């Protein structure tokens, strides 16, 4: 396809801060989340989870559970057919173990009963004979020859000989002569880093209601980032035709990438199929932590050379990511993102994907990038400190810009990194004085963004209002942004448009809400659907006027004659055309379907000030400013919210959040009490500065903004804490005990 | 002929080359002929690849035209969160 190129225009509605359409429902409790779904005759589903890090399932006896009053169905892995496709098989086996349980919390059986008490009793009555196997949860340990093998036979052809079978993939990116690059350096620093696995921390746990009928049709209501993808996965796992499974997405209480796959939905469908009644499953928080998808944990080595005047001569990074018990899919993006902010003659990244006895990783905002950029930006900061250079000027000197050959291969088109750095340099925050014991940190960040499969219908109602049907759950304000773009294009007030998220039977396929794609791709499709409707409305006006359709143009929400030769007719508004649509040819609707490309990469820069309590090791964030290129901020409140949310999640990742495993391989902190996410009282107001460097691949210049914001905080915080303490921090999270140990406290 | 830049770890399938020349006018032809010329690339192509064309990333659009003298870079299949 040809890209839908940006054309400069003066916006009338895009860029305004209109009222969000979901606000009242959410603050009054009316909004329907996953757990709110009900159906007549509904059963309660519960899942039994393995208490061992790694165990062979020798036998499962469900007879006692089935004999209990109120128990209507019990299933195990054997109830599912083995999918032929490796990927689908992994998804299915992550939902329900077959033969071996691969991590603490891995589902091994499930029940459906008339109430929660009966379901709980049934879980207790299931007898499983386990053979406990050796386990491994640390990425470096898992790579060693002789480490317990999590799954055999998963090694890709790109892995050199001599590694454990847990090493499933190897990547290398980069260009240039590394030896010559390092030879030009006046200073070379090599450091090793570790980051913990963190969870997306969405407040709403996974929940679904499945109803399978005896004639093979099924309905599924669930909280998800992608109802169409849920349909693809579940219909494949259940052996159903996609047309027979309708999936409806609920309102969503946070996803951040973690709701881009399925965990409980196939289980609920299978229980419903077996019981012949609807089955609802709602995960507990313990289950969310133990059995959904956190991000990878990492171990990495970075080596960077720099001249005395701050030119980076070469950069090399080796990244080792563990993605849990199934092959990891983010290492390559860490490798690609690590040095993306820099214009380098010599750069190389090496990546290793590793299996461990942990839950299967799921995407988490810019998957794979934060931990890679953390390591690189920490070394860049240390080089600046050692050479007495300004860290922002040094980044400007080395910044990637239009024409730079990126570290992952392509030559950058128009990008906004330099403008973002300049904005940070000009901001009062950068020069604000610091007190003793305080430190300031800076980091760049990068994410790719993409477009993807998108389908939009825009219906012109006879009263002059407009309904938009789109297929992506609204996790970041997309309904408001989509309505705004339609209002801009149609020339009618935002308030006259309502955008809804359709189920899978009501619209063509839409990719998952991920990759920061929705405002870009669904926005693009909405603009095109609006233009399609405008074309049809102009044709209706032409009929009424008795002139050629080409002699009509659309201006300020109305059809008007295109010029003096077209005739003299008063403008016909959208409402006037819609009111007579039955008489002029029937309903009017615009449609657009596309697999959108040209999303445009995104850069951000974060600045933060911290103070470290040397007695307790606790870090307080004093000030935090985010600078990010949004291309065009369609609804600035939501853009700022994305930037603030990314920063806050990154602050949690940097300072406190971590999956802690005991020697037995079991997760020690599966609650929000022990897994410490930052709350409002921990944080200063996150200041935001939106840059608008138009994306040439979108009619309004939009770039995705959902993911880049989580990339810089890890290094920004680490650099700030390092400056505050005088000790280079190399492991996340920088929790109080770890900081105390690093600075020599007790 | 289109010059295609590959990421480094693919060179074991291309006799050590990270840049190869392929006769192709669109993305699908490129993938088909890469797989034919270098069978060792087929597992990765099957797992998924994206293409950067003159700096713009195309995730899967088979019939994206590749004009002469374009910069073409093979990339892992794009995902996100």
Over the stretch A282-316, which tens digit does the pLDDT of each residue have?
A: 999 999 999 999 999 999 999 999 999 999 999 99
The predicted-structure confidence for A209-257, as pLDDT tens digits, reads as follows 999 999 999 999 999 999 999 999 999 999 999 999 999 999 999 999 9
CB A592 within 8 A of CB A532: yes
- Whole-number percent of chain B with pLDDT over 70: 100
Residue A563 confidence (pLDDT): 86
Nearest by CB to B81, which of A158, A599, A707? A707
- Give the CATH architecture of domain A297-449+600-742: 2-Layer Sandwich (3.30)
| Tokens of residue A608, six digits | 């933060």
Length of chain A as a residue count: 746
Residues 6 or more apart whose Cβ sits within 8 Å of residue A221: A34, A37, A208, A209, A247, A248, A250
Q: A642 contacts in B (CB within 8 Å)?
A: none
Distance from CA of B43 to the nearest CA of A (A): 8
- Whole-number percent of chain A with pLDDT over 90: 96
Is residue A2's pLDDT more than 70? no
Q: B57 contacts in A (CB within 8 Å)?
A: 410, 448, 450, 597, 599, 601
The predicted-structure confidence for A552-598, as pLDDT tens digits, reads as follows 999 999 999 998 888 999 999 999 999 999 999 999 999 999 999 99
The predicted-structure confidence for A439-479, as pLDDT tens digits, reads as follows 999 999 999 999 999 999 999 999 999 999 999 999 999 99
Nearest by CB to A365, which of B9, B59, B81? B81
B10-29: average pLDDT: 95
| Tokens of residue A602, six digits | 């995104």
Strand residues in A178-266 grouped as ranges (E): 187-195, 207-212, 218-222, 245-249
Residue A746 confidence (pLDDT): 57
Residue A146 confidence (pLDDT): 94
Q: Outline which parts of chain A fall under CATH 3.90.1170.50.
A: 34-133+205-252+259-291
Is residue A154's pLDDT more than 80? yes
The predicted-structure confidence for A190-205, as pLDDT tens digits, reads as follows 999 999 999 999 999 9
The CA-CA-CA angle for residues A337, A340, A344, to 5°, reads 135
A79-86: average pLDDT: 95
Closest to A644 (Cα-Cα) out of A678, A692, A693: A678
Q: B52 contacts in A (CB within 8 Å)?
A: 409-410
A372-393: average pLDDT: 98
Distance from CA of A172 to the nearest CA of B (A): 5
A702-710: average pLDDT: 96
Q: Outline which parts of chain A fall under CATH 3.30.365.10.
A: 23-31+451-596, 297-449+600-742
The predicted-structure confidence for A499-513, as pLDDT tens digits, reads as follows 999 999 999 999 999
| Tokens of residue A553, six digits | 């143009």
CATH 3.90.1170.50, applies to A34-133+205-252+259-291: yes
Q: Give all domains of chain B, ordered by start, each with its CATH number.
A: 2-76 (3.10.20.30)
Nearest by CB to B59, which of A3, A336, A452? A452
Distance CA A74, CA A95 (A): 15
Strand residues in A517-646 grouped as ranges (E): 552-555, 558-561, 572-573, 588-596, 602-612, 619-629
B14-42: average pLDDT: 96
| Dihedral, A573, A574, A577, A580 alpha carbons, nearest 10 | -120
What is the crossing angle of helices A713-725 and A636-655, to 10°? 50
Is residue A4's pLDDT more than 80? no
CATH 3.40.50.620, applies to A23-31+451-596: no
Q: A367 contacts in B (CB within 8 Å)?
A: 79-81
Distance CA A705, CA A305 (A): 32
| Dihedral, A527, A528, A534, A535 alpha carbons, nearest 10 | 160
Q: What is the ipTM of this complex?
A: 0.96
Distance from CA of B9 to the nearest CA of A (A): 5
The predicted-structure confidence for A646-694, as pLDDT tens digits, reads as follows 999 999 999 999 999 999 999 999 999 999 999 999 999 999 999 999 9
Residue A3 confidence (pLDDT): 53
Q: Determine whether the interchain pair A448/B64 forms a contact, defined as Cβ–Cβ distance below 8 Å.
A: no
> If you measure CA to CA, which chain B residue comes closest to A331?
B76
Nearest by CB to B55, which of A333, A412, A514? A412
CB B9 within 8 A of CB A158: yes
Distance CA A286, CA A277 (A): 27
Q: Determine whether the interchain pair B44/A158 forms a contact, defined as Cβ–Cβ distance below 8 Å.
A: yes
Residue A593 confidence (pLDDT): 97
Distance CA A491, CA A513 (A): 27
How confident is the prediction for chain A on average, in pLDDT? 97
> If you measure CA to CA, which chain B residue comes closest to A294?
B81
Closest to A167 (Cα-Cα) out of A329, A318, A352, A326: A352
Q: A1 contacts in B (CB within 8 Å)?
A: 61, 64
Question: What is the number of alpha carbons within 13 Å of residue A403 lying toward its C-beta?
Answer: 1
| Tokens of residue A597, six digits | 């490309």
| Tokens of residue A736, six digits | 């109080």
Nearest by CB to B79, which of A173, A515, A601? A515
The predicted-structure confidence for A413-447, as pLDDT tens digits, reads as follows 989 999 999 999 999 999 999 999 999 999 999 99
- Computed on alpha carbons and rounded to an integer, the radius of gyration of chain B in Å comes to 12
A378-390: average pLDDT: 98
Distance CA A576, CA A593 (A): 28
Query: Is pLDDT larger for residue A305 or for residue A600?
Result: A305
> If you measure CA to CA, which chain B residue comes closest to A368?
B80
Q: Per-residue confidence at A710, pLDDT binned at 50, 70, 90?
A: very high
Question: What is the number of alpha carbons within 13 Å of residue A664 lying toward its C-beta?
Answer: 10
Q: B19 contacts in A (CB within 8 Å)?
A: none
Q: Determine whether the interchain pair B79/A514 forms a contact, defined as Cβ–Cβ distance below 8 Å.
A: yes
Residue A441 confidence (pLDDT): 98
The H or E element spanning position B27 is helix B27-37
Strand residues in A215-337 grouped as ranges (E): 218-222, 245-249, 279-282, 297-306, 312-322
Residue B58 confidence (pLDDT): 92
Distance from CA of A516 to the nearest CA of B (A): 7
Is residue A367's pLDDT more than 70? yes
Residue B78 confidence (pLDDT): 86
Is residue A1's pLDDT more than 70? no
């Amino acid at each position: 396809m040809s890209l839908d190129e940006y054309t400069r225009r003066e916006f009338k509605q895009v860029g305004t801060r209109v009222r969000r359409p979901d606000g009242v429902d959410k603050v009054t409790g009316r909004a329907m989340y996953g757990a709110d779904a009900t159906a007549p005759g509904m059963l309660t589903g519960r899942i039994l989870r393995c208490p061992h890090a790694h165990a062979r399932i020798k036998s499962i006896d469900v007879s006692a559970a089935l004999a209990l009053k109120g128990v209507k169905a019990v299933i195990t892995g054997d109830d599912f057919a083995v999918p032929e496709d490796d990927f689908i098989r992994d998804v299915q086996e992550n939902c329900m173990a077959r033969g071996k349980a691969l991590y603490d919390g891995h589902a091994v059986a499930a029940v459906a009963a008339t109430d929660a008490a009966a379901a709980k009793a049934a879980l207790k009555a299931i007898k499983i004979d386990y053979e406990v196997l050796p386990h491994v949860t640390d990425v470096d340990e898992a790579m060693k020859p002789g480490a317990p093998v999590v799954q055999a036979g998963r090694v890709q052809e790109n892995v050199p000989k001599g590694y454990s079978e847990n090493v499933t993939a190897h990547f290398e990116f980069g260009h240039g002569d590394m030896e010559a690059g390092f030879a030009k350096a006046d200073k070379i620093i090599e450091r090793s880093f570790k980051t913990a696995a963190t969870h997306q921390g969405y407040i709403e746990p996974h929940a679904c209601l499945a109803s399978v009928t005896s004639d093979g049709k099924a309905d599924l209501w669930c909280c998800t980032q992608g109802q169409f993808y849920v349909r693809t996965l579940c219909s494949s796992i259940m052996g159903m035709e996609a047309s027979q499974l309708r999936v409806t997405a609920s309102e969503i209480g946070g996803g951040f990438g973690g709701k881009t796959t399925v965990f409980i939905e196939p289980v609920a469908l299978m229980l419903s199929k077996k019981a012949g009644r609807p089955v609802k499953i709602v995960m507990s928080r313990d289950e969310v932590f133990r059995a959904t998808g956190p991000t990878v944990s990492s171990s990495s080595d970075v080596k960077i050379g720099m001249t005395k005047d701050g030119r980076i001569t070469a950069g090399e990074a080796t990244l080792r990511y563990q993605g849990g018990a199934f092959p990891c899919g983010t290492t390559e993006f860490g490798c690609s993102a690590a040095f993306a902010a820099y214009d380098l003659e010599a750069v190389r990244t090496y990546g290793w994907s590793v299996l461990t006895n942990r839950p299967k990783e799921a995407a988490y905002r810019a998957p794979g990038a934060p931990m890679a950029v953390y390591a690189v930006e920490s070394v860049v900061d240390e080089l600046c400190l050692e050479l007495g250079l300004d860290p922002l000027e040094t980044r400007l000197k080395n910044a990637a810009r239009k024409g730079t050959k990126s570290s992952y291969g392509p030559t950058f088109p128009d990008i906004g990194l330099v403008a973002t750095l300049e904005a940070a340099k000009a901001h009062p925050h950068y020069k604000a004085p610091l007190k003793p014991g305080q430190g300031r940190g800076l980091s760049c960040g990068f994410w790719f963004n993409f477009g993807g499969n998108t389908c939009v219908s825009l219906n012109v109602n006879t009263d002059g209002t407009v309904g938009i049907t789109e297929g992506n759950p609204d996790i970041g304000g997309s309904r408001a942004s989509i309505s705004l773009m339609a209002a801009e294009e149609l020339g009618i007030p935002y308030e006259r448009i309502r955008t809804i998220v359709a189920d899978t039977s009501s619209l063509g396929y839409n990719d998952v809400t991920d990759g920061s794609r929705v405002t870009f791709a669904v926005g693009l499709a909405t603009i095109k659907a609006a233009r399609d409707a405008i074309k049809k409305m102009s044709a209706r006006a032409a009929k009424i006027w008795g002139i050629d359709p080409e002699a009509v143009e659309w201006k300020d929400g109305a059809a008007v004659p295109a010029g003096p030769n077209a005739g003299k007719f008063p403008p016909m508004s959208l409402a006037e055309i819609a009111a007579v649509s039955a008489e002029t040819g029937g309903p009017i609707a615009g449609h657009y379907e596309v697999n959108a490309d040209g999303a445009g990469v995104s850069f951000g820069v974060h600045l933060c000030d911290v103070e470290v309590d040397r007695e307790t090791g606790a870090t307080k964030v004093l000030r935090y400013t985010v600078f990010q290129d949004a291309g065009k901020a369609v609804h600035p409140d939501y853009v700022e919210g994305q930037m603030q949310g990314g920063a806050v999640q990154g602050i949690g990742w940097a300072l406190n959040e971590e999956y802690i495993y005991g020697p037995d391989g079991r997760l020690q902190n599966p609650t929000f009490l022990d897994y410490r996410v930052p709350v409002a009282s921990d944080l200063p107001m996150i200041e935001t500065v939106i840059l608008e460097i138009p994306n040439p691949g979108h009619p309004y210049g939009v770039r995705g903004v959902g993911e880049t914001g989580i990339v810089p905080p890890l290094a920004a915080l680490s650099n700030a804490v390092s400056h505050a303490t005088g000790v280079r921090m190399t492991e996340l999270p920088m929790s109080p005990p770890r900081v105390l140990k690093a600075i020599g406290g007790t | 002929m289109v010059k295609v830049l590959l990421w480094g770890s693919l060179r074991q399938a291309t006799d050590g080359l990270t840049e190869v020349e392929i006769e192709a006018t669109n993305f699908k032809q490129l993938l088909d002929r890469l797989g034919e010329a270098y069978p060792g690339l087929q597992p990765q192509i099957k797992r998924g690849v994206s293409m950067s064309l003159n700096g713009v990333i195309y995730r899967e659009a088979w019939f994206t035209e590749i004009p002469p003298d374009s910069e073409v870079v093979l990339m892992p299949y794009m995902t996100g969160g």
